[in-house]
């Protein structure tokens, strides 16, 4: 397809970029969204994931609309939230947060909500929320201490990265594995196709 619209990823996450590249999508621009990710009072994990995905897409859409080079592009944004019941686990930044998350997740199931939003040049915003259920084995204090020592948890929703060392903690997963990593691929591709983006344009030479 000629004159395909540009793809703008509203994220600095190397994991989301790698997932897009896995299905042959190479963003033309990486424009991380600067939005307040603080949950609202009584907000559920599900509602937060979708709200933040929308907010990121809308924030970057404003930037893109002001750029002659990018204004015809399609903006893709996502946010991942880990929840235990109605409780939202933080994106752990300090060891105390990581230990709290791992202690809560040990030996029990939790849900990972990933919201995806696609903002089109015409102002239309398409969204999708994907829910995945994950269960951890019972973690020993040694498991937790060793994982915290790895530093892999830093900045990760729920204090873990399923695609890394913490994959050894997972005994069951129902839903979308890439959504837990940060971007549900089937749903993202569907949203982009609905927005008129040629997601298969690179497949012929793959």
- Indicate whether 48 pLDDT > 70: yes
Q: Is 101 helix (H, G, I), strand (E, B) or coil?
A: helix
Pairing of strands 125-136, 87-88: unpaired
DSSP string, 76-127: EEEEEEEEETTEEPPB--SHHHHHHHHHHHTTSEEEEEEEEEEE-TTS-EEE
Q: pLDDT band for position 205 (50/70/90)?
A: low
Residue 138: closest CA among 111, 95, 171 = 171
- Indicate whether 169 pLDDT > 90: yes
Q: What is the distance between the alpha carbons of residues 130 and 115, in angstroms, rounded to a whole number?
A: 6
**What is the arithmetic mean of pLDDT over 11-39?**
95
Place of tokens 């990933």: 114
Residue 99 lies in a domain: yes
Q: Active-site residues: which are they?
A: 79
Count how many domains the chain has.
1
**What is the arithmetic mean of pLDDT over 42-55?**
97
Other CB atoms within 10 Å distance of the CB of residue 81: 29
Q: For position 104, which CATH number holds? A: 3.90.950.10
Q: What is the distance between the alpha carbons of residues 34 and 137, in angstroms, rounded to a whole number?
A: 35
Q: What is the distance between the alpha carbons of residues 148 and 171, in angstroms, rounded to a whole number?
A: 20
What range defines the domain where residue 137 resides? 7-205
Q: pLDDT band for position 1 (50/70/90)?
A: very low
Percentage of the chain modeled with pLDDT above 70? 98
Q: pLDDT band for position 92 (50/70/90)?
A: very high
Higher pLDDT, 206 or 89: 89
**What is the arithmetic mean of pLDDT over 99-117?**
98
Residue 6: closest CA among 48, 45, 60, 50 = 60
Residue 1 lies in a domain: no
Residue 2 lies in a domain: no
Residue 199 lies in a domain: yes
* Enclosing H/E stretch for 53: helix 45-65
Cα–Cα–Cα angle for 27, 30, 31, rounded to 5 degrees: 140
Mean pLDDT of the chain: 95
- Indicate whether 172 pLDDT > 60: yes
């Amino acid at each position: 397809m000629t004159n395909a619209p540009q793809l703008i990823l509203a994220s600095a996450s190397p994991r989301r970029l790698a997932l897009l590249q896995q299905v042959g999508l190479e963003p033309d621009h990486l424009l991380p969204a600067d939005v307040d990710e603080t949950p609202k009072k009584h907000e559920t994990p599900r509602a937060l994931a979708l709200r933040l995905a929308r907010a990121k897409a809308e924030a970057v859409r404003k930037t893109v609309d002001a750029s002659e080079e990018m204004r015809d592009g399609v903006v893709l944004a996502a946010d991942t939230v880990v929840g235990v019941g109605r409780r939202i686990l933080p994106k752990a930044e300090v060891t105390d947060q990581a230990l709290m998350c791992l202690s809560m997740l040990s030996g029990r199931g939790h849900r990972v909500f990933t919201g995806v939003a696609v903002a089109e040049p015409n102002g239309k915003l398409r969204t999708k929320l994907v829910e995945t259920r994950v269960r951890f084995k019972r973690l020993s204090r040694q498991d937790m201490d060793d994982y915290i020592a790895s530093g892999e948890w830093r900045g990760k929703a729920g204090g873990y990265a399923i695609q890394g060392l913490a994959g050894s903690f997972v005994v069951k997963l129902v839903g979308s594995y890439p959504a837990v990593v940060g971007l549900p691929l089937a749903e993202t591709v569907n949203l982009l196709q609905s927005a008129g983006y040629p997601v298969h344009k690179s497949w012929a030479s793959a």
